[in-house]
A and B are shown apart, each in its own frame.
Chain A
Amino acid sequence: GQQLNQSPQSMFIQEGEDVSMNCTSSSIFNTWLWYKQDPGEGPVLLIALYKAGELTSNGRLTAQFGITRKDSFLNISASIPSDVGIYFCAGQRAGAGSYQLTFGKGTKLSVIP
């Protein structure tokens, strides 16, 4: 099946620092989505990207859909303690009639106050 490689696996940063994480795939996706999951809760949609090269922001979050359609990154600027959680990328091959999301393994973010 399709695999998404998400990195880094975990990161510890100081409050106020910027964060960057990315996902790569051997397969092309038509849509990339980024989710955040807090312990014991469901994934919450942060950003959705619909076309290659697209750069989209949501507050302090910025995500880009790679030109090759095989990668995406998420940046968080000026991190705050509530940014703590696990961030997942997810790819979708919607154009091929498949709506299932393929998830990465997640990046666990810890913010040191």
Chain B
Amino acid sequence: EPEVTQTPSHQVTQMGQEVILRCVPISNHLYFYWYRQILGQKVEFLVSFYNNEISEKSEIFDDQFSVERPDGSNFTLKIRSTKLEDSAMYFCASSGLAIEQFFGPGTRLTVL
């Protein structure tokens, strides 16, 4: 069964450093998303991406964040200058028709 994959599974970085989280969505899906989950809390929407542009973003997704689909398979989330409060699980999701979203296993980001 096709699935969303994410790399790395765990990323440790120093405050102020840039990180890039990578995702390979399900191959025939057209909508892509990033969510985050701070430890013990609910999953929060960051951004959605369709037709090579951002279609929606939350107030969490400020100028430090960017997304890109550099080729036909990868979808990336970049955090330009990480802060301690960026430590969280980051989930990529994809959907075919924008309703049923399928999540990847997540990347645990730890900012020291």
Contacts and interface: CB of A to CB of B under 8 A. Distances in A.
Given A88-B42, A105-B42, A42 B105 contact: yes
A42 B91 contact: yes
B99 A94 contact: yes
- Residues of A in contact with B, size category: 20 to 34
A100 B48 contact: yes
Contact of A101 (B4, B45, B55, B106): B45
A44 B100 CA distance: 11
A99 interface: yes
B51 interface: no
B49 to A, nearest CB: 10
A41 B106 contact: yes
Contacts, number: 59
B44 A103 contact: yes
**Best-buried of A44, A50, A99, A102 by chain B (most CB within 10 Å):** A99
Interface string B86-112: 000001000100111111111010000
B43 A103 contact: yes
Contact of B56 (A33, A40, A99, A102): A99
Contacts of A104: 42
Contacts of A98: 56
A99 B95 CA distance: 10
A31 B99 contact: yes
B30 to A, nearest CB: 11
22 contacts: A42-B106, A43-B43, A43-B91, A43-B103, A44-B103, A45-B101, A45-B103, A48-B99, A50-B99, A88-B43, A94-B98, A99-B56, A99-B98, A100-B33, A100-B48, A101-B33, A101-B35, A101-B43, A101-B101, A103-B43, A105-B41, A105-B42
Interface of A: 31, 33, 35, 40-45, 48, 50, 88, 90, 92, 94, 98-106
Interface of B: 4, 31, 33, 35, 41-45, 48, 55-56, 58, 91, 95, 98-106, 108
